[in-house]
């Protein structure tokens, strides 16, 4: 386990490489020679430079793209915050294994490997309205599981999640990190009715009140209000930064999972791009708070890494244009 204490984890969050200015600048120079008006490919140009910066290569590559889907169960579902029972988490993990979920199809179309990692599904986290979701040992174990899952041979990573009830801890973490109260961050998740939405708000308010003493520390927030899959995404996001791998974040839960890193370090999420903005009501505000403009807005709220997988195709397009377009000199096209 890479992190045996919160002190070790905090130190790792504060010691982050800054990426390669030289590689990003080389991409920008090449972009200005290609057969197009400068800047005319918009974010496709900045995506190519982003890949180069975090891969540390003048010419990025996307030979190995991987989607990690972390799965966890949540004790707070006892408060009636989900339209589905907790056993659906295990059932959906089996569906992933059988190739029957949306993420299986989208990963295949994106040319991405899929790795589904269940996290102690038989033992849900604690109900954070009654006590901490995770003690320090459980939190560090989940963070370490995510950190260890990432290998240095990857060129791009997408994160997804599966966990019945997990929009509730995601909203609680968002409220704790950025303020504004429970209602600002709470949406309908799996499709709860008005009564279910109210139960979510009440549960989150109760969690924020119970754990008020922990809310000054982003790591403590992630432990007492989060979930194992959120902690694993946090750990994997940290590992990607240390290993020089750019990251596409999926929806509300993934973004909330990674958000404590932005609170711990001013450029903590610089190696990430928000793949899309979810229809879950808190996601747009969370992206704005983090300064992460989304690539896509398709009204999706599935999770599983589905939006991130769609964005892989945009990133591949950005790299193809950068790598294969001719320069003005090569094409014999007159410059202005």
CA distances from 121 to 72, 210, 221 (A): 6, 25, 21
What whole-number distance in Å separates Cα of residue 154 and Cα of residue 73?
Answer: 28
Catalytic hit among 45, 229, 280, 304? 304
Q: How far apart are the two ends of the chain, measured CA to CA in Å?
A: 57
Active site residue 304: yes
- pLDDT tens, position by position, 37-67: 999 999 999 999 999 999 999 999 999 999 9
Tell me the percentage of the chain whose pLDDT exceeds 90: 97
**CA 86, chain centre distance (Å):** 22
Following DSSP, what letter does each residue of 251-266 receive, concatenated? SHHHHHHHHHHHHHST
- pLDDT tens, position by position, 240-299: 999 999 999 999 999 999 999 999 999 999 999 999 999 999 999 999 999 999 999 999
Nearest Cα residue to 224 out of 212, 239, 235? 212
For the chain, the average pLDDT equals 97
Residue 248, beta-bridge partner list: 158, 273
What pLDDT is stored for residue 11 in this prediction?
98
> In a 3-state reduction of DSSP, which class is residue 62?
coil
Do 168 and 204 meet the contact criterion of CB atoms below 8 Å apart?
yes
């Amino acid at each position: 386990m890479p992190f045996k204490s919160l002190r070790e984890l905090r130190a790792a969050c504060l010691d982050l490489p800054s990426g390669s200015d030289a590689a990003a600048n080389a991409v920008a120079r090449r972009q200005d020679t290609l057969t197009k008006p400068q800047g005319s490919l918009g974010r496709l140009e900045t995506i190519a430079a982003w890949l180069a910066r975090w891969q540390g290569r003048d010419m990025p590559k996307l030979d190995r793209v991987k989607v990690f889907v972390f799965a966890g169960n949540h004790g707070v579902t006892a408060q009636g915050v989900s339209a589905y029972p907790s056993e659906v988490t295990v059932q959906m993990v089996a569906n992933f294994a059988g190739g029957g979920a949306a993420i299986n199809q989208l990963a295949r179309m994106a040319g991405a490997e899929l790795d589904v990692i269940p996290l102690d599904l038989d033992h849900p986290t604690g109900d954070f309205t009654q006590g901490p979701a995770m003690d320090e040992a459980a939190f560090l174990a989940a963070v370490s599981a995510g950190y260890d899952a990432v290998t240095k041979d990857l060129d791009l990573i997408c994160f997804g999640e599966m966990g019945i009830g997990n929009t509730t801890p995601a909203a609680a973490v968002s409220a704790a990190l950025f303020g504004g109260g429970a209602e600002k961050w709470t949406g309908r998740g799996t499709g709860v009715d008005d009564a279910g939405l109210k139960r979510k708000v009440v549960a989150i308010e109760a969690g924020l009140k119970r754990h008020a003493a922990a809310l000054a520390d982003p790591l403590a927030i992630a432990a007492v209000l989060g979930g194992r899959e959120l902690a694993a995404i946090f750990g994997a996001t940290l590992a990607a930064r240390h290993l020089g791998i750019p990251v596409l974040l999926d929806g509300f839960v993934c973004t909330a999972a990674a958000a404590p890193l932005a609170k711990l370090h001013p450029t903590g999420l610089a190696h990430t791009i928000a793949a899309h903005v979810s229809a879950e009501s808190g996601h747009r505000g969370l992206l704005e708070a983090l300064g992460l403009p989304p690539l896509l807005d398709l009204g999706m709220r599935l999770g599983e890494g589905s939006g991130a997988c769609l964005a892989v195709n945009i990133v591949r397009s950005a790299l193809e244009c950068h790598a294969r377009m001719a320069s003005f000199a090569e094409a014999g096209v007159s410059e202005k």
